Structure 1
Amino acid sequence: MNYLYIFATILFTIYGQIILKWRLNQLGSLPETLMGKISFLGSALLDIYIISGFASAFVASVFWMAAMTKFEITVAYPFMSLSPALVFLIGVFFLGETFTWGKVVGLMLIVIGTVVTVKF
């Protein structure tokens, strides 16, 4: 049950990042002018999806606090390195991000490193 806190942290962190990227892709690029930037950021901060991304980051923090009461940080924190691997997969399949074998190899090394760090 205690590992649920870690995996909930990862899940809510990933949701927050993916939803922010997805929605900002839809809203377009940050304008060049100062007033354009202020207007863009103001409307983005009021967007319900972006608000849900920020709320998700807060929920992830709450789960992380719970995990910190159950694990040593040297055990719990390496699991956070699984986030980039999951974000990569979601980014490629749902956001149309670039797939490269170099990224796959790098992410495999991260996952292997996580297993070694936690198990040995």
Structure 2
Amino acid sequence: MGYVFVAITVLLTVYGQLVLKWQVGLAGMAPAGAADKAVFLVRLLLNPWVLSGLGAAFAASLSWMLALSKLSLSSAYPLTASSFVLVLAFSAIVLGEPLTAAKLLGTALVVTGIIVLASWG
């Protein structure tokens, strides 16, 4: 069951990151002045999509605590790196972000690290 909680943690984290990037992208660049930045952030915080992303982050934290109650940190934590793979894939598919050779190579290295840690960790 611990691995299920890790998977839930990863999926909620990926959802939260994608939703936050989507909504921040729609909101545009943050203004220059401190007061304007504060208004910009408050508007984002009142956005239901942003709230769902923050809620997903909170739920991911709860799921992570449940995962850690079942698994050692050294076993569970490397699996969270799979979020890099999912964010890369979904940011390209959903947000239209470019996939570069450097991003693909870096992600391949992360996957290799996950495999090594899972096999010999």
TM-score for the superposition, normalised by structure 2: 0.95
> Contact (CA 8 Å) 2:81, 2:110: kept in 1 or not?
yes
**Structure 2 unaligned runs (5+)?**
none
Q: Which residue of 2 aligns with 1:29?
A: 29
Superposition deviation, residue 38 in structure 1: 1.5
- Per the alignment, residue 52 of structure 1 pairs with 52
Kindly report the root-mean-square deviation, in angstroms, between the aligned alpha carbons of the 2 structures.
0.9
SS at match of 1:98: coil
| Partner in structure 2 of residue 119 of structure 1 | 119
TM-score for the superposition, normalised by structure 1:
0.96
Identity over the aligned pairs, expressed in percent?
Answer: 37
Find the aligned partners of 1:27 and 1:103 in 2 and give their Cα distance: 26
Question: 2:23 & 2:58 partners in 1: Cα distance?
Answer: 18
Structure-to-structure mapping, 1:1-120, within 5 angstroms: 1-120=1-120
SS at match of 2:86: helix
Letter in 2 for 1:6: V
After TM superposition, give the deviation of residue 101 of structure 1 in Å: 1.4
Q: CA deviation at 1:80?
A: 0.9
Query: Where do 5+ consecutive residues of structure 1 fail to align?
Result: none
Shift of 1:68: 0.3
Give the distance between the partners of 2:54 and 2:104, measured in 1 at CA.
Answer: 28
Count of aligned pairs between the two proteins: 120
Residue 96 of structure 1 deviates from its aligned partner by 1.3
Q: Distance in 2 between matches of 1:102 and 1:33?
A: 35
- Contact persistence 2:15–2:53 (CA under 8 A): yes
